[in-house]
């Protein structure tokens, strides 16, 4: 496929690097207008400047990019794979994306991101589900630049500290760079308002640990992943970048899991 990637950060770089190996062509890199690289012919600053023939847009940039650019891209009939599930916690953003996708006959595909087990949760939700809780635990560096800095001295904590407890909607809105997993768990399971979330800074760990527990007519479910962060961004797990490519692979295959 001929691909446009939004962003040039840690996830975007990983995805851009891996595209040829997955049989795709990186045709454009969509950046903020003032970030256009005059030395790179692929660098564009607006949806209008995307070259003809793009078949899929990969949002590797975060909530602002999906909320700001997503509706225009979808309304033009282009599908998006996005890492920014948390942006849908804002009902107005979610409605705008929904309307644009219907108008353009396009689809917004949410990558599973840094978590797994979402297939189990969405099947269990048919049951229905009774409860879903998600606990996200990262080393202090993984919370830098987030709301955690308001309640914790991240450079000096010596034991695990909870800095957020509430619904997945509150988490996704308050932690746009850190709680997309909470949003994905919510969307797969009992929704943004009924998913209970706890976020923890833990100086004793070196991985991003995500745990989900669910209970319902299907039985009970526990999931735990200890994810390696991307080298360029301690906030973001490598699996989140990998999940963009695996979603792209899925969309290209005639037989899918």
Point out the annotated binding site for NAD(+): 114, 180
Residue 6, interface with ligand NAI (CB under 6 A)? Answer: yes
Size of the site for ligand NAI (CB under 6 A): 32
Provide the annotated active-site residues. 210
Tell me the residue length of the chain. Answer: 257
Which residue in 233, 242, 247, 248 binds ligand NAI (CB under 6 A)?
A: 233
Assign 32 to helix, strand or coil. Answer: coil
Measured CA to CA, the distance from residue 188 to residue 186 in angstroms comes to: 5
DSSP string, 41-103: TTEESSGGGSPTT--EEEE-S-HHHHHHHHHHHHHTT-EEEES-GGGGGSHHHHHHHHHHHHH
Q: Quick one: DSSP state of residue 242?
A: H
Which residue in 16, 146, 167, 180 binds ligand NAI (CB under 6 A)?
A: 180
* Least separation in angstroms between CB 86 and ligand OAA: 6
Measured CA to CA, the distance from residue 237 to residue 208 in angstroms comes to: 7
Binding track over 16-35 against ligand NAI, x by CB under 6 A: --------------xxx---
Residues of this chain that bind ligand OAA (CB under 6 A): 114, 178-181, 208, 227, 235-237, 240
Considering beta carbons, is residue 27 or 167 the nearer one to ligand OAA? 167
HSE-up of residue 188 (Cα within 13 Å, Cβ side): 28
* Least separation in angstroms between CB 161 and ligand OAA: 18
Residue 207, interface with ligand NAI (CB under 6 A)? Answer: no
Considering beta carbons, is residue 130 or 225 the nearer one to ligand NAI? 225
Q: Taking Cα atoms as reference points, which of 92, 20, 13, 183 lies closest to residue 29? A: 13
What are the two backbone dihedrals, phi and then psi, of residue 27, each rounded to the nearest 5 degrees?
A: -100, -25
Residue 146, interface with ligand NAI (CB under 6 A)? Answer: no
- Footprint of ligand NAI (CB under 6 A): 6-12, 30-32, 60-65, 68, 83-85, 113-114, 176-177, 180-181, 232-233, 235-237, 240
């Amino acid at each position: 496929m001929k691909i446009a990637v939004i962003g040039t950060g840690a996830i975007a770089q990983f995805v851009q690097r891996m595209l040829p190996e997955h049989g795709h062509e990186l045709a454009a890199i969509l950046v903020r207008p003032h970030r256009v690289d005059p030395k790179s012919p692929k660098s564009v600053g607006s949806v209008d400047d995307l070259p003809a023939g793009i078949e899929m847009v990969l949002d590797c940039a975060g909530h602002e990019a999906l909320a700001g650019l997503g509706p225009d891209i979808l309304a033009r009939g282009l599908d998006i794979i996005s890492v920014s599930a948390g942006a849908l916690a804002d009902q107005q953003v979610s409605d705008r994306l929904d309307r644009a996708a219907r108008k353009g006959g396009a689809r917004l595909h949410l990558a599973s991101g840094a978590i797994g087990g979402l297939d189990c949760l969405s099947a269990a939700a048919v049951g229905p589900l009774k409860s879903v809780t998600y606990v996200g635990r990262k080393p202090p560096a993984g919370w830098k630049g987030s709301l955690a800095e308001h309640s914790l001295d991240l450079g000096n904590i010596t034991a695990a500290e909870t800095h957020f407890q509430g619904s997945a909607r509150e988490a996704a809105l308050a932690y746009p760079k850190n709680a997309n997993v909470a949003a994905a768990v919510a969307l797969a399971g009992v929704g943004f308002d009924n998913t209970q979330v706890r976020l923890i800074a833990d100086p004793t760990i070196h991985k991003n640990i995500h745990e989900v527990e669910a209970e319902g007519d299907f039985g009970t479910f526990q999931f735990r992943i200890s994810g390696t962060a991307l080298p360029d961004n301690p906030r973001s797990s490598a699996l989140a970048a990998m999940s963009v490519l695996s979603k792209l692979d899925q969309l290209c295959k005639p037989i899918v899991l």
